[in-house]
Structure 1
């Protein structure tokens, strides 16, 4: 603060100049005009007021003059800040002023320290902490909540805010200042520590990930130096979802180097040992059991009864076996549905998860849901149950591809196929659907209504069977039939038999040539080219993703084993791994 500035106001001729209102103080604070604050101290002392009195706080949001001044820092400076702090010190409400926060639901809990960090003013951060700022104050308004579309989530704490905005100097100061050190183990309203928050704000950008990893490591190192006597392991702290920072990173799939962790020791050898010791046997057993289930399901569907369901169980060996097979099929669907819902509850489907393991879980969920819906329709006496039954059967056979992750070559092939379905083929189908429907509607509109086949009354009042069969034949006036015929043109099986029924053949030929050019020539060849490019681009990634899928499978197999049996599956073998040339930095890893 400028020591040449007197906080006491000299004698003034006008009464208005000696009257300080909230608007006047806020205006001076926002403009950084310390000369307008001359006499404020005398006014407060004379009227027994403070800067935290209700007269100088915005009743709508709890904003104080200090918050107003910090929000209007220009070129890293606002001279009104020092003046306000000095006045509050002399009126006895310094800590109250510094730790006053917003009270409105949107910015609730935001203090002067939060704003100083947000404005990247390291000097004011040091000044506020020196004056008694609460380094554990939590800004828990709706604007700062995770998932807010218009807000910014940073973990509520000042330390988390500094970490998420890449202010390493401020992070180090908050952890090691001589006044009050920030508690790194403190958690926000969602149970997230500063490490959880860094994982959440990290994305696939290399620069962002590098920044988050750098601050993440720095916090770990400094916490170990400062709090090693406490024995608290920062990376083992769980949030309200029961996730450590590493588990959260695995769930969100945001950290780019997470798949590469499977290539380093001792993790790779540990996973290989588990796969060879018990996971491969359990996986093979699951595959055989699924094939048996699939054989039963297929047999039941193939030898289903004809007629109005539900069918009574007859006292014959064949019918009893059919009934047992139906029960096994439904119970298997219940198990698949329960497992899928459990996985979705713990890890809701996300776009990134589809490229790792979520694709298979969704197919198993659809298979089970369709079969159970088919069972409901069956008992309700609806013949439509057959449609859902065959769809579930088709998905059941598709889900055999899930077990390709047990083989390296087949697993990598399955990874490439799923990546192309989720990217190239999905984009192709979106564009192709628009073109197919648009040209089908145009062709149907162009057909001549007088060309519709009509019944011809024969002599004697009878009707010819040939004419009746023509009436039952699908017409090109039906947009569904026309859409199917145009689809045949896309795959080179089109039929031009309906060209005689169009009103304007020239316009029809223009539509047909345009459709074939856009779909059969352009889009199909573009799809083939894109798929080839995708294969080349992800050939290196496919093995990594396959390793990741197999690692997930190993962990799922291990969790499915009863606790009393897990100890017998672990070899308990140990291996000493040294880091660098220093023999003192050796660790023993137990399998």
Structure 2
């Protein structure tokens, strides 16, 4: 681990500026302070010259004015008036130009004025002349850098000068070593490390964290910066040099090591993926050579995520695919592989995939992260990466499918009981004036009815608790709601309706019947949840969910605007109904009178479905306006909106036909993990997928839990590959010679 640079708790600086200069400086500082108070103000990384206000630090600094020390060292303040005086403006301008001649006399001036290059007078928000020089390289060179380091070394201030860091909120912690790496100057990187630069300095400013706006997260550490900017030579130098080696286990403020940082930088583009994969493998192998006992890929960050889990959580599919398929042929690094070729015959390969941290048998596994990670945009595609695809298929075949069918049968029984019990539960004709709860007959039918009601109540309590647990665990987003949350929400609403109906029933409220019949209808609709057990029905169910959540919901919102708007306008034109005539008086029964706003809206709704009547009432004013409103409503809703809905639904079905299969597989994967989660530990252990294999690491045997996948690759043929078994076939069970062996 790196040793942080110690700051001097007490510093004594010399200020040789004249009173006029000091007053001007204070005025500029006050101006800069007001300017920097804006929250949106952002200090530039570099400019020709900065006069930013130096922020207050916790260090105690006392400055001495040499003009009050007469005859000190035989001088009477001439140094402050000499033409070779160096202030920050002159110093920064000289190092920006890269001309050593402009720094002539700097060392003599500093010694004569008793100053250091690390004094606050020569620092702009932490930026020193060294940082300024490195930010202004020309063709990778700036000769003033070496001169500055030599001056600091002669004045016994080298370590603090080399490790001086930005204190600005945006670039806080960035040192000269960070800048040299970012400028891709291996010469100055080696020079700085030789001069004592801290290889574990952390650039933790806002610019180096993930947020909206300009930023670049690289893991804060110099090693991570070199790796994330594809500088292999600098990575090798930092890992192995004679001055100070970078520790690959060093973490940043988020607990990420260099491998985590590479995962965060990956963006699935071809050019990015190519160098990220090469750098990832290079650091992995170099770390294994330098630190054989360190298992770098098993280090977790503060979120409990290893690099492979982080790649799964962030949806970095290309890097994730490489991690799972990584296979080293070299004997010394083969133990770093996650894939091992068991046997090969022509284009047929039998591969063993390491299941560590992948299988849902372990807690917080990669499989659970992908299946339940609603914020991952490409979850369906990631589940198609081997061995996850075949692993889910085996889980479905071994235990999930039989249990799913059993649950389906149980739900059918529950639905049948609900449908049978509902009819006798409603009040009889002779009980319409009575209040619930109604008495049960002490007969066989009465006891069966009571038993059915108890079963329904217990089932609703189960669905209620399960719905709460699923919604809390999955936390579906708006984008993932059709995939992750719709079915769980419908089952939860079903349970709430039944429980509400039960409460109303025992509270002697007749409204219980409304909740109960709504629950019955929803119970039948929820039967479609079990369509995911079949591929064809599952894909059809996915399309229905997409259409309901997308097109029909949007249509409903727009339609309600039209319906309420025109209903209010039409209702305003209607006259109040006249009093009912006395008995015996003949009245022309022509139309039905509309007495309230709800009835008006209902009549207009009939126009939408083609059942309306333009003469549904004759009590209106301004006949022309009345018919204009009705005709406009018909055109906008029945002709326009409904046809738009049909067109959008057709387009949605066509667009989602390709992705519906992947979504169905994701839904089935969710079902598999939900079933596995509720299995007893003993049964889960027996049904665990994969086999334990002994894989050699040199002369040391290593036990790994692997999953066997048979693959066919016509672009790759057996060419001096390292394989575990020479002959193909079933390696687990011996088959008689006369029977053909089945490849595993």
1:585 is matched with which residue? 722
1:51 to 100, 108, 117: 117
Equivalent residues of 1:111, 1:137 under 8 A apart:
yes
SS in 2 for 1:586: coil
User: Does 2:276 match 1:215?
Assistant: yes
Q: Give the whole-Å Cα distance in 1 for the aligned partners of 2:425 and 2:305.
A: 47
2:306 is matched with which residue? 244
Summarize the alignment of residues 5-404 of structure 1 with structure 2, pairs less than 5 Å apart: 15=81, 17-22=83-88, 25-26=91-92, 37-58=103-124, 61-69=125-133, 81=145, 83-103=147-167, 107-117=171-181, 128-129=192-193, 131-142=195-206, 144-146=208-210, 152-161=216-225, 167=230, 169=232, 172=235, 178=241, 182-200=246-264, 202=266, 207=269, 211-212=272-273, 214-228=275-289, 230-253=292-315, 255=317, 259-260=380-381, 267-295=388-416, 311=437, 317=447, 320-321=450-451, 324-325=454-455, 327-344=457-474, 348-350=475-477, 353-354=480-481, 356-368=483-495, 394-404=521-531
Q: Give the whole-Å Cα distance in 2 for the aligned partners of 1:309 and 1:19.
A: 101
1:5 is matched with which residue? none
Q: 1:226 to 1:248 in 2, by over 3 A?
A: closer
Q: Give the whole-Å Cα distance in 1 for the aligned partners of 2:100 and 2:637.
A: 71
Segments of structure 2 that go 5 or more residues without pairing to the other structure are 1-77, 322-378, 428-432, 692-706, 726-730, 733-743
Q: Give the whole-Å Cα distance in 2 for the aligned partners of 1:93 and 1:382.
A: 86
- In the TM superposition, residue 102 of structure 1 has moved relative to its aligned partner by 3.5
- In the TM superposition, residue 284 of structure 1 has moved relative to its aligned partner by 1.9
Q: Give the whole-Å Cα distance in 2 for the aligned partners of 1:162 and 1:309.
A: 79
- In the TM superposition, residue 163 of structure 1 has moved relative to its aligned partner by 5.2
Equivalent residues of 2:471, 2:485 under 8 A apart:
no
- CA radius of gyration, larger in: 2
2:52 is matched with which residue? none
2:538 is matched with which residue? 411
Equivalent residues of 1:66, 1:98 under 8 A apart:
yes
1:7 is matched with which residue? none
Q: 1:561 to 1:447 in 2, by over 3 A?
A: closer
User: Does 2:496 match 1:496?
Assistant: no
1:566 is matched with which residue? 684
Equivalent residues of 1:300, 1:325 under 8 A apart:
no
Corresponding pairs, count: 562
Equivalent residues of 2:133, 2:144 under 8 A apart:
yes
- In the TM superposition, residue 336 of structure 1 has moved relative to its aligned partner by 1.1
TM normalised by structure 2 equals 0.61
2:29 is matched with which residue? none
Segments of structure 1 that go 5 or more residues without pairing to the other structure are 1-11
Q: Give the whole-Å Cα distance in 2 for the aligned partners of 1:309 and 1:84.
A: 95
Higher relative CO (CA 8 A, sep ≥ 6), structure 1 or 2?
A: 2
- In the TM superposition, residue 87 of structure 1 has moved relative to its aligned partner by 3.6
- In the TM superposition, residue 552 of structure 1 has moved relative to its aligned partner by 3.9
Q: Give the whole-Å Cα distance in 1 for the aligned partners of 2:182 and 2:517.
A: 59
- In the TM superposition, residue 223 of structure 1 has moved relative to its aligned partner by 1.5
- In the TM superposition, residue 332 of structure 1 has moved relative to its aligned partner by 0.7
Equivalent residues of 1:300, 1:326 under 8 A apart:
no
Q: Give the whole-Å Cα distance in 1 for the aligned partners of 2:412 and 2:133.
A: 71
Q: 1:13 to 1:279 in 2, by over 3 A?
A: closer
SS in 1 for 2:317: coil
How large is the Cα RMSD of the aligned pairs? 4.9
- In the TM superposition, residue 408 of structure 1 has moved relative to its aligned partner by 1.5
Q: Give the whole-Å Cα distance in 1 for the aligned partners of 2:627 and 2:97.
A: 72
Equivalent residues of 2:390, 2:709 under 8 A apart:
no
Q: Give the whole-Å Cα distance in 2 for the aligned partners of 1:399 and 1:40.
A: 82
1:437 is matched with which residue? 561
- In the TM superposition, residue 227 of structure 1 has moved relative to its aligned partner by 1.4
- In the TM superposition, residue 372 of structure 1 has moved relative to its aligned partner by 6.0
Equivalent residues of 1:29, 1:80 under 8 A apart:
yes
Is the strand fraction higher in 1 or 2? 2
User: Does 2:579 match 1:456?
Assistant: yes
Q: 1:124 to 1:571 in 2, by over 3 A?
A: closer
Q: Give the whole-Å Cα distance in 1 for the aligned partners of 2:388 and 2:690.
A: 15
- In the TM superposition, residue 211 of structure 1 has moved relative to its aligned partner by 1.5
Deviations 1:237-290 (A, max 9, x none): 333333333334444445377645655665544433332222212222233334
Q: Give the whole-Å Cα distance in 2 for the aligned partners of 1:395 and 1:470.
A: 34
SS in 2 for 1:332: helix
